[in-house]
Amino acid sequence: MSTPRVIVGVSGGVDSSVAALRLVRAGEAVAGLFMQNWADDGSGECRAEDDRRDAVAVCGRLGIPFHFRDFSSEYWAGVFEHFLAEYAAGRTPNPDVLCNREVKFKHFLDAARDLGAEKIATGHYARVAEDGGTWKLLRGVDRGKDQSYFLHQLGQEQLSATLFPIGDMQKPDLRRVAKEAGLPTHDKKDSTGICFIGERDFREFLGRYLPAKQGEMRDPQGHVIGTHPGVFYFTLGQREGLNIGGVRGRAAAPWYVVGKDVANNVLYVDQDTASPYLQSTKLWSEAAHWVGGHPPARRFDCAAQTRYRQPDEACRVSVQDDGTLEVAFARPQRAVTPGQSLVLYDGDVCLGGAVIARTDAPLERRLDAERAA
């Protein structure tokens, strides 16, 4: 059996199945590799074994070798411990970004090279292109499925060794191709949410690692509205799970999380989905990562997303001496959340991004001033 030139990360889903199919049809020497990134925790919610069986079936249908690697310990150290630390600090991390950087395009790439492959391929909706010796990360053609947001931490070494075979496809066309090819995953439901949580209750899962700590729920003026089980269970803009009943003297309207005082375990809520306490026009980030290795300039205009599938927002980026960013938006942004990713674009080209550290939202500014006093 010849050494495969490309190892495809087969997840047991339809996207990676069609990625493998397209490479086989292109005449590539291909093998599949299934990554187990989360050890079964006994909850009955882990779908890894079902996904593995589907990945084996796909490789069998395509007539390509199947490999398995257990990266659960690497995932725990490189992704999950950071995830818990961020939530404990009251921030809202994005584990998919870290998983791509620390596992899929690091340990998976190393495993593929150990198997003699030159390239890896995944079922991400993104594209890669070389331009004058520089590798560029491009949005997927299907903007509703584009996953470049989660890939913005990749650099030149990873992109030069990566193929995204379905980056030019629309999802309905992809499912049709899968069905016509007889792939057993053609009608499999897309996975949603964080991989290690799956369909289970998020608060119950997080409570295993971060015990409940009841505190006060207040409005922005400081009036007590109710209680909560722990500020780290909530994120800015959240409406569900607040369990606020009728409050005397208040309208019967939904409440939203507008701020978190982690030190005092206070959760701030307001009734307006467009609450001014959720609005910000500036953010400051941690040190940025640039796909091309460096920023386009010390100060430049571009488009940004502060959450996945958000429409492009015009902004001006100022790169600080320590590599962090100050970003000013052309219009106010709702619920920009520390711990989430700011990702920058020039048209279809993903420039890079950074973790959001803080914003100029009114309540956040006030809490910062109180802490500094």
Catalytic residue among 46, 195, 315, 350: 195
Q: Residue 339's pLDDT is what?
A: 96
Return all residues near 77 (Cβ < 8 A) that are at least 6 apart.
Answer: none
DSSP string, 46-71: --HHHHHHHHHHHHHHHT--EEEEE-
The letter for the amino acid at 150 is F
Specify whether 219 is located in the same domain as 335.
no
Specify whether 139 is located in the same domain as 109.
yes
3-state class (DSSP) for residue 36: strand
- pTM of the predicted model, to two decimals? 0.94
Strand 134-139 to 299-305 pairing: unpaired
Specify whether 346 is located in the same domain as 265.
no
198 within domain boundaries: no
Active site residue 195: yes
Q: Residue 194's pLDDT is what?
A: 65
Environment class of 63 (CB within 10 Å of its CB; exposed 0-12, middle 13-18, buried 19+): exposed
Specify whether 159 is located in the same domain as 230.
no
Return all residues near 297 (Cβ < 8 A) that are at least 6 apart.
Answer: 319
Q: Quick one: average pLDDT of 13-39?
A: 95
Residue 80 DSSP label: I
pLDDT band at 245; cut points 50, 70, 90: confident
Helix (H) or strand (E) holding 14: helix 14-25
Phi and psi torsions of 179, nearest 5°: -65, -45
For 65, 111, 261, the CA distances from 57, given in Å and listed in that order, are 11, 21, 50
Q: Residue 42's pLDDT is what?
A: 54
Q: Residue 40's pLDDT is what?
A: 61
138 within domain boundaries: yes
Domain residue limits at 223 = 212-270
Specify whether 361 is located in the same domain as 342.
yes
Active site residue 99: yes
C-alpha to C-alpha distance for 150 and 155, rounded to whole angstroms? 13
Specify whether 239 is located in the same domain as 114.
no
- Among 270, 304, 336, where does a domain finish? 270
Catalytic residue among 46, 99, 302, 350: 99
The CATH number of whichever domain residue 265 belongs to comes to: 2.30.30.280
Q: Residue 201's pLDDT is what?
A: 77
199 within domain boundaries: no
Q: Residue 38's pLDDT is what?
A: 83
38 within domain boundaries: yes
Q: Residue 310's pLDDT is what?
A: 93
pLDDT band at 202; cut points 50, 70, 90: confident
203 within domain boundaries: no
What are the tens digits of pLDDT across the range 53-80? 999 999 999 999 999 999 999 999 999 9
C-alpha to C-alpha distance for 291 and 137, rounded to whole angstroms? 7
Specify whether 77 is located in the same domain as 216.
no
Specify whether 286 is located in the same domain as 219.
no
Report whether pLDDT(113) > 80. yes
Domains identified in the chain, total number: 3
Strand 256-261 to 224-228 pairing: unpaired
- To the nearest 10°, report the CA torsion of 281, 263, 322, 104: -90
204 within domain boundaries: no
280 within domain boundaries: yes
Specify whether 342 is located in the same domain as 367.
yes
C-alpha to C-alpha distance for 192 and 198, rounded to whole angstroms? 7
DSSP string, 209-262: TS----EEEE-TTS-EEEEES-GGG--TT--TT------TTS-S---EEEEEET
201 within domain boundaries: no
C-alpha to C-alpha distance for 28 and 6, rounded to whole angstroms? 7
For 8, 54, 71, 87, the CA distances from 39, given in Å and listed in that order, are 22, 18, 9, 21
- Identify whether the C-beta of residue 138 lies closer than 8 Å to the C-beta of residue 128: yes
- Among 270, 297, 314, where does a domain finish? 270
Q: Residue 298's pLDDT is what?
A: 98
- Among 180, 204, 239, where does a domain finish? 180
C-alpha to C-alpha distance for 93 and 106, rounded to whole angstroms? 20
